Each structure stands twice: as structure tokens, then as C-alpha cells.
Amino acid sequence: MASDFETPLTPPAAVPVQPISSTSEPQVPLAPQFSQQYAPQAAPQYPGSPAGTYFGNSGYPGPQQNIINAYPQGANVQAANGMAIGSFITGLLGMFPVAIPLGIVALNRMNKTGESNRWMAITGIALGAAHAIGWGLLVAIPLLLIGY
């Protein structure tokens, strides 16, 4: 069955447009009228294809035949530890008083529950320690130079 959106093989004949006169109301040209040749037609029937079916006896599986589920149900997905993510982000932002304890608590929790993102907790602790050492040096060196 042809759809309404298919392009016809030959363009329809143009409808003549009447000139617009200044004394009358504006004329709008009418849309071309399609002849009977463009009427929807029934889908062709091929040998070996029962009427009304799309797949027929072509040898290909139908819509509900031989479907293999590529993603088995109940896939093993580890839960992410939110404290490890928080430790990583606060370590990146230089908030070492928050990053180090969050990372330690996250590592302890991961050992008990088996959650993922262990690398984030370790990186958060390392970044927090680096920031703490940097701030310590930033404060200690001027104090040593002044003589306190």
C-alpha cells in the first residue's frame, strides 16, 4: 500500500494561476488535484508470501522467533561509593580537611561492602595530602625566613 508521503513518478499537471487584479480580492491558487493514477494501491503479492504477512516463507525469522537476549537479566553491576566520589572531588578542589577523612571512611566501607571506585578514594586522599603539605610549606617557609 503506497503511503501519503511517497513521491509520485510523474509530477502532476500545473493548475493555471489567474492574474491578480487591483480591484478584486487577492486570489490564492488552488493546490493541484491528483488524478486516479495516484490513488493508494494494494501491496503486491509475491510467491511464497501469505497475504497479510510481512515476512512470509522467506526463511528469515519472524518478529517473535529465535530472538537472543544479548543482555542477560540480572547483570552483575557494582555499586559506586559516594564517599569515594566526594573524596575525589574535594581533593581536586583543595579541601583537604574534608577529602582525607572521606577517603579513609570510603576505603573502610569498600573493604566491607565490595563497592567500586577504590581509585577515587585513594586519589582523594593523595590530593588532600598534597594540598595539606603545600599549605604547610606555604605557611612554614615564610615563618622560617622571618625568624619565628
5-64 pLDDT, tens digit each:
666 566 666 667 666 555 656 566 666 665 555 566 666 665 555 554 555 555 555 555
Alpha carbon dihedral 121, 126, 127, 132, in 10-degree steps, equals 130
Name which residue leads in pLDDT, 78 or 4. 78
Helix (H, G, I), strand (E, B) or coil at 19: coil
How many C-beta atoms lie closer than 10 Å to residue 108's C-beta? 12
Give the per-residue pLDDT at 147.
78
Half-sphere exposure of 118 (CA within 13 A, CB side): 10
Rounded distance between C-alpha atoms, residue 125 and residue 98, angstroms = 10
Write down the pLDDT at residue 80: 83
- Which pLDDT does position 117 carry in this prediction? 87
Q: Is the pTM here over 0.85, yes or no?
A: no
pLDDT digits (tens, 9 = 90+) for 124-148: 999 999 999 999 999 999 888 887 6
More reliable by pLDDT, 78 or 116:
116
Confidence of residue 74 (pLDDT cuts 50, 70, 90): low
pLDDT digits (tens, 9 = 90+) for 83-122: 999 999 999 999 999 999 999 999 999 999 888 889 999 9
- How far is 104 from 120, CA to CA, in rounded Å? 11
Q: pLDDT class for 78, splitting at 50, 70, 90?
A: confident
Task: Give the per-residue pLDDT at 134.
Answer: 95
Distance CA 132, CA 100 (A): 10
Among candidate residues 80, 79, 53, the one with its CA nearest the CA of residue 64: 53
